[in-house]
Amino acid sequence: MELKRVVVTGLGALTPIGNNVEQYWNGLINGISGAAPITYFDATKFKTRFACELKNFDVKDYLNRKDARKMDRFTQYAMIASDEAINDSKLDLEKIDNDRVGVIWGAGIGGLETFQNEVLNFASGDGTPRFNPFFIPKMIADIAPGQISIKYGFRGPNFATVSACASSANALIDAMNYIRLGHADVIVSGGSEAAVTIAGMGGFNSLQALSTRNESPETASRPFDKDRDGFVLGEGAGALILEEYEHAKARGAKIYAELAGGGLSADAYHITAPHPEGLGAKSVMINCLKNAGLKPEDVDAINMHGTSTPLGDIAESKAIEEVFGSHAYNLNINSTKSMTGHLLGAAGAIEAIASILAINHSIVPPTINHFTDDDQIDSKLNFTFNKPQKRTVNVAISNTFGFGGHNACVLFKKLN
């Protein structure tokens, strides 16, 4: 059968450097760091005392108090970003066939804060099991797509993808495939995460995964820099409206780009460390290009996973050189995590949005906080260090890799 084409017709973002798509893009282009001391709890005794929290954010500006209380922050973020994307798409909610509209959403952890607080409350009591009746529905990762579908009455495919930091890229790939195969006309897809919590910071600190540059949070996320010492935890959500091309064209929709391909792979190596030679990263990019029917030389830009970890940045750089050969030096490659921090399950969604906007604006956002070259990383690669670069971007790919060795890669191209 002939596969249907999939396009992006709406975007929504809630990030540490902007609470909507326009603010987020401006933050990226201006090289703004979202890292600052933690305000959500007293982090004085933690090894890492900073994160990329949302700024100037009050959930009451978006959701009524009664609804918000029934949701963990990761679901609140999902609702807010998806609302923006749906509004941006200008879908006529009175005319669309709700049986053909789905929601496929990614979250690496889900309601971590809810789980943490319920356990702390129980442990501080007299042993009597008093739990919030919304404990379980607030915590489970699949509640975010469930809540979105309930609000809008979307009755198409509805589930959550959980693959650590690859979760929302996985969601986009699943959504693309459902539309390609004719099982849906429109799917709201993306991801959200809210892990800046006592348990989240403590857990990642114990793994020695986070930067401990407490004296200079804004420069702590420094992908590919010789002195990088771990990632910076972020939070937020990204939402994309994916739509079958003919369906979008028939209603005169604004089309940002075509989601032309997706790739998946596993490192099959270690629970947290990447394969040292980047084998999983290499295969996922090859799989993505094959799925899109494109060659390495067709690609203009790569938003790398680029977390600012000592091992991961080297492995991914090696993989790009192997996949793209001499063309690797013609690419603009970057890591927007240098600004947003690492949004875990939401990373793939907000980074996909960054890739789409790079196509639309012919600008590649920078990788900020580069001070010293790492002699284990090829300095001839164009990492778009410290300043954005103008260039025509016809094809952009975005990489996301997760604990457990999960790899996902999505490819967007200018519609032609």
Answer yes or no: is 341 within a domain: yes
195 shares its domain with 155:
yes
Express as a percent the part of the chain with pLDDT over 90.
99
**Pair 75, 220 in one domain:** yes
Give residue 416's pLDDT band: very low, low, confident or very high (50, 70, 90).
confident
* 273 within some domain: yes
Does 1 score more than 80 pLDDT? no
Decide which of 199, 230, 250 is a domain's last residue: 250
As annotated, the active-site residues are 165, 305, 342
27 and 159 share a domain?
yes
Residue at 2 is within a domain = no
Non-local (6+) Cβ contacts of 88 within 8 A are 10, 11, 12, 21, 241
For the residues of 281-342, what is the DSSP string, one character each? HHHHHHHHHHHHT--GGG--EEE------HHHHHHHHHHHHHHHGGGGGGSEEE-THHHH-B
Q: Count other C-beta atoms under 10 Å from residue 175's C-beta.
A: 29
Tens of pLDDT along 168-209?
999 999 999 999 999 999 999 999 999 999 999 999 999 999
Q: Out of 201, 220, 250, pick the residue that ends a domain.
A: 250
The arithmetic mean of pLDDT across residues 223-241, rounded, is 98
- Compute the CA torsion angle 135, 137, 143, 144 (nearest 10 deg): -40
CA gap 225, 221 in Å, rounded: 9
Domain identity same for 119 and 63 = yes
C-beta of residue 401 within 8 angstroms of C-beta of residue 280: yes
Q: Do residues 42 and 181 share a domain?
A: yes
pLDDT at 63 over 80: yes
**Does pLDDT of 250 surpass 80?**
yes
pLDDT digits (tens, 9 = 90+) for 148-174: 999 999 999 999 999 999 999 999 999
256 in a structural domain: no
257 falls within a domain = no
Domain-terminating residue out of 213, 228, 250: 250
Residues 6+ apart with CB under 8 A from 368: 31, 33, 222, 338, 339, 385, 386
Query: CB of 219 within 8 A of CB of 386?
Result: no
What is the C-alpha end-to-end distance of the chain, expressed in Å? 22
Residue 325 lies in a domain: yes
The CATH number of the domain holding residue 192 is 3.40.47.10
Q: Are residues 231 and 268 in the same domain?
A: no
Residues 206, 91 within the same domain: yes
CA distance linking residue 108 with residue 161, whole number of Å = 8
pLDDT tens profile 66-93: 999 999 999 999 999 999 999 999 999 9
Question: Does the pLDDT at position 34 exceed 80?
Answer: yes
Residues 97 and 213 in one domain: yes
Domain range enclosing 386? 262-413
Are 122 and 131 in contact by the 8 Å Cβ rule? The answer is yes
Is there a single domain that holds both residue 227 and residue 277?
no
DSSP string spanning 137-151?
HHH-TTHHHHHHHHH
Sequence-ordered alpha helix ranges (H) in 31-106? 65-69, 73-89
Q: At what angle do helices 347-361 and 167-180 cross, to 10 degrees?
A: 70
Same domain, 400 and 277: yes
- Do residues 304 and 226 both lie within one domain? no
Contact in structure between 269 and 405 (CB atoms under 8 Å): yes
Q: Give the model's pLDDT for residue 274.
A: 93
Structural domain count, the chain: 2
Q: Does 155 reside within a domain?
A: yes
Within a domain: residue 255?
Answer: no
200 and 291 share one domain: no
The pLDDT value recorded for residue 17 is 98
Please state, rounded to an integer, the average pLDDT across all residues of the chain: 97
